[in-house]
Copies of this chain bind each other. A is one copy, B any other.
Amino acid sequence: VRDVAIAGVGLIKFGRYPDKHVDDLAAEAVLEACKDAGIPFKDVQFLVSGNVYQSHAMVGQRILHKIGQTGIPVVNVANACATGSTAVREAYLAVASGAYDIAVGVGSEQMGKMGLLGGRIEDPYGRGLISEGFVGSGTMPAVFSQMGVEHMRKYGTTFEQFAKVAYKNHKHSVHNPNAQYQQEFSLQEIMNARMISWPNTLYMCCPTGDGAGAAVLVAADRARQYTSKPVFVAASVLTSDPWQERDLAMFDVNTLTRLAAQQAYEQAGIGPEDLDAVELHDCFATAELLHYDNLMLCPEGEAGRLIDDGDVFLGGRIPVNPSGGLLSRGHPLGATGPCGIAEIVWQLRGESGGRQVEGAKAGLAHVIGLGSACTVHIMKR
């Protein structure tokens, strides 16, 4: 496998864009990433586009139609919430293969104010695009609350500990200009907010919205040609659910993430103790806490202590979601993957401003998609 580096990343500010189409948002992120890499779009040799709601509708080619049709191969991918990170990974594999020296992975989604409700989803802006949730037995708040309740039962985790996760991420978000919401809440405000599904209150659930993000992958041995601050992909892993029997109603998010994390640490040749920053899939506050265990940031069952001790706050031992995570950024499905990757890239370059982890040398970005797909990327300076 040829070594691969990230030469540039780009995100748009997440929010509501009823006047734009999803390919407009995605094109903006691609151009931003190319600008960051100092690579003109005409030099890009391969494009992988991730989108869920319009995965059948050639979003990747529509991006080229907006930017410039260069005739390059375009692939559209979908992998639930891991759609965008899967797109980056397919671009990574294509560069690793030696077939291309410069590839772009982009993820985008336009949800408007719709959620993923398990039923039929109309285009949020009434333009006739129709999709279908693939949720099955439950809605997302219910599924991830169940997992939290199970963690409480098994390890004695408390409502307050889950709430602290949201407190931390909203606190971090104040320094992230790309977040949809950049607002700090007190722990009491979070705990007293409207209960959505016990133990997750309103501020402990990620908002919906529109967004896009992209990364430019290049052959590592040519990386310094494009950028003075290349970030190397030390591991790029994707897993699916390894079990027929499932712990919970829907899928075993824990086993799925553990499998990906184990493979990623092995591939990168480093352990969780070597990480300086982690961006993980905090679709709900309960989810983030589970993943402290799953990504082996602490001994199993001690996730509650990790948040209580302040280890995962900016300034702590292993800051988690310095960007503010999905809880503040929002979670337009296909757009989420590149965000964590971009944040780690910025952290490793020392460009994260008020949310910078000083001297960060290695970081991890994790995304989990229902039904099932888990990606873990480890990046190093």
Distance A93 CA – B76 CA, assembled complex (angstroms): 15
Q: How far is the CB of A91 from chain B (nearest CB, A)?
A: 10
Asked whether B78 lies within 8 Å of A56 as measured between CB atoms, the reply is yes
Q: Are B55 and A76 in contact (CB under 8 A)?
A: yes
Please determine whether B76 and A1 come into contact, CB atoms closer than 8 angstroms.
Answer: no
* A129 cross-chain contacts in B, Cβ below 8 A: 132
CB distance from A3 to the nearest CB of B (A): 11
Query: Chain copies in the assembly?
Result: 2
B58 touches A55 (CB 8 A): no
Given contacts A76-B78, A99-B96, whether A69 and B242 have CB atoms under 8 Å apart is yes
| Stretch from A147-155, A233-241, A268-276, A322-330 forming part of the interface with B | A233-241
- The residue in chain B whose Cβ has the minimal distance to the Cβ of A334 is B56
Known: A72-B239, A74-B240. A372 touches B130 (CB 8 A): no
Residue-wise interface mask of A (112-141) relative to B, using a CB-CB cutoff of 8 A (1 in contact, 0 not): 000000001000000011111010000000
Mark A44-77 against chain B: 1 for CB-CB distance below 8 A, else 0. 0000000011011110110010001111111111
Nearest residue (CB) in B for A129 is B132
Q: Residues of A within 8 Å of B, CB-based: how many?
A: 52
**Residue among A56, A60, A72 with the highest chain B CB neighbour number at 10 A:** A56
Known: A96-B97, A98-B1. A134 touches B71 (CB 8 A): no
List residues of chain B with CB within 8 A of the CB of A61. Answer: 240-241, 371-373
Closest chain B residue, CB of each to CB of A246:
B69
Q: Judge if A80 is at the interface, Cβ distance under 8 Å.
A: yes
Q: Is the CB of A79 within 8 A of B99?
A: no
Q: Considering residues A78, A80, A120, A134, which has the most beta carbons from chain B within 10 angstroms of its beta carbon?
A: A78
Closest CB in chain B relative to A329 CB, distance in Å: 22
